Chain A
Amino acid sequence: MSLLQRYSDRERLNHWVIALLFVLTGLSGLAFFHPAFYFFTNLFGGGQWARILHPFMGVVMFVSFLGLFFRLWRDNVMNDADKAWRAHSGDMLRGDKKKMPPVGKYNAGQKMMFWVTALSLLVMLVTGVMFWRPWFAPVFPIAVQRAAVLLHSVAAVVLILSTIVHVYAAIWVKGSVRAMTRGTVTDAWARQHHTLWHEQMTQGK
């Protein structure tokens, strides 16, 4: 079984730093979003500590995402082939992969995940700063802060929903998780799911 290198050590560690911070920032944020989740504040040493830590963890998450963003954005630019993939995404969900057009390193779904994550993190950074107490909140008028918390919540829900899809896709498509745990995928996996990338990787071999 031959293996292809999909992610470098640095990319994988970067990914998992983001993932850990996503869980921590997400749990502390959910605690403020709905009383059903308030008990998550206990993980952080209580309500005050969760409130103090949440924005710092969020900023670190954003900065670490930038690392991955600049490495991967070119591979995630949408192209014409992605339209055909999107048109057949329903077939894929029904378990029928035969009609899926060949894709490069990322398919249209993965690309969307990439851009949705980037956009929602950016929205959360900008709006989050606007009501970050005690540092920046006093600078912004209350009406602006009201809009900021609403947008912040919307962006957070979008990010959580897309991350659920992201994690599920990794579990669903067997052989994917090892790309992020070991950095390599099997030759067969690449040929089946990312045909064009496979060609590119095996050219001249």
Chain B
Amino acid sequence: MASLQSQDVVARSATTTPSPQVRNNAPQVAKLIDESKCIGCKACQVACMNWNDLRDEIGTNIGVYDNPSDLTPSSWTVMKFFEVEPTEGSLEWLIRKDGCMHCEDPGCLKACPAPGAIVKLSNGIVDFISENCIGCGYCVKGCPFDVPRISAKDNKAYKCTLCSDRVGVGLEPACVKTCPTGAIGFGTKDDMVAYGEKRAGELKERGFANAGLYNPQGVGGTHVMYVLKHADRPELEDLPKNPSISPMVSLWKGVAKPLAVAGMIGAVLAGFFHYMKVGPIEEKSDEEETT
């Protein structure tokens, strides 16, 4: 939906000058997924398929409720089920709606080499502009959450758009609209943080001492947040505890780029001026040599 959002791009992949961003007064949005209210019905998966006209291939049952078993190019959100024992002998069934976290500091955007293939909008949504995608898979390496998936059919990367097309015209994302228990909330980031903390407080009163909001600061916070019953141990549900962009990616896409370019241009210039200062080593003729 690049054409609708062209003046509110606050960050653009592989671009060294500012993008059009005069329409920057949009409120920061966020989706809040309250794990304690989720019943694992997968209506959000269906709504996502429906709104986005996605139909994944029919897969195979791997013996658990997860279906499909992981995110795919055509399944941008997937319910993941975890049987865990947070304390010895206390079985819990945790359900997490997996998908793009819409990082404030998106690693995919930082790693992407194709200008404008990944953008961050002024409302905080990180969107893939597929016509610019070259299928290199660098976004996969940049992402701290292992979210982007590349289609084998068209070699383009896909992930949750946070329904940027719906949000752009004032609607909530499809998954939020359809959730029957109100486990998925949507609003301004500030409101969602406040509501998430209130919910975490209520869970604490009900005995979940470590309940809390998952809004990891290592990526500058996220525009998709979770209320977790065990926020002290997000790894119980395959969430990184302190996600950040890998130092390998920061080095490669950070300091290495300008230094290497300067080095290469510098080498050519050094050669040029060396020649002009010292001059060539001429081939002496036989006579010159003997004298």
Q: Interface residues, chain A, CB within 8 Å of chain B?
A: 31-36, 38, 41, 46-48, 50-51, 93-95, 97, 131, 133-134, 137, 142-143, 145-147, 149-150, 153-154, 157, 160-161, 164-165, 168, 171-175, 186-189, 191-192
Contact = CB atoms under 8 A, between A and B. Distances in A.
A186 B136 contact: no
B137 interface: yes
Contacts of B286: 187-188
A174 B283 CA distance: 6
B261 A133 contact: no
Nearest to A193: B281
A134 B113 contact: no
9 contacts: A35-B14, A35-B15, A47-B132, A133-B150, A146-B248, A149-B138, A161-B264, A161-B267, A188-B283
SS class of chain A's interface: helix, strand, loop or mixed? helix
A133 B141 contact: no
B132 to A, nearest CB: 7
A150 B251 contact: yes
Interface residues of B, number: 45
A186 B278 contact: no
Interface in B146-168: 146, 150, 152, 155
A142 B141 contact: yes
B282 interface: yes
Contact of A174 (B138, B257, B282): B282
Interface in B258-274: 258, 260-261, 263-264, 267-268, 271, 274
Contact of B137 (A41, A137, A147, A157): A137
Given A150-B251, A191-B289, A36 B16 contact: yes
B115 interface: yes
Contacts of A38: 14, 113-115
A149 B140 contact: no
The 6 residue pairs across chains A and B that have the minimum distance between CB atoms: A47-B134, A168-B271, A175-B283, A146-B248, A32-B113, A35-B14
Contacts, number: 122
B284 interface: yes
Interface string B81-118: 00000000000000000000000000000000111000
A165 to B, nearest CB: 7
B60 interface: no
Nearest to A160: B264
Given A133-B135, A142-B140, A147 B271 contact: no
A46 B155 CA distance: 14
Contacts of B219: none
B14 A146 contact: no
Nearest to A163: B267
Contacts of A147: 248
B18 interface: no
Contact of A134 (B152, B251, B264, B271): B152
B280 A174 contact: yes
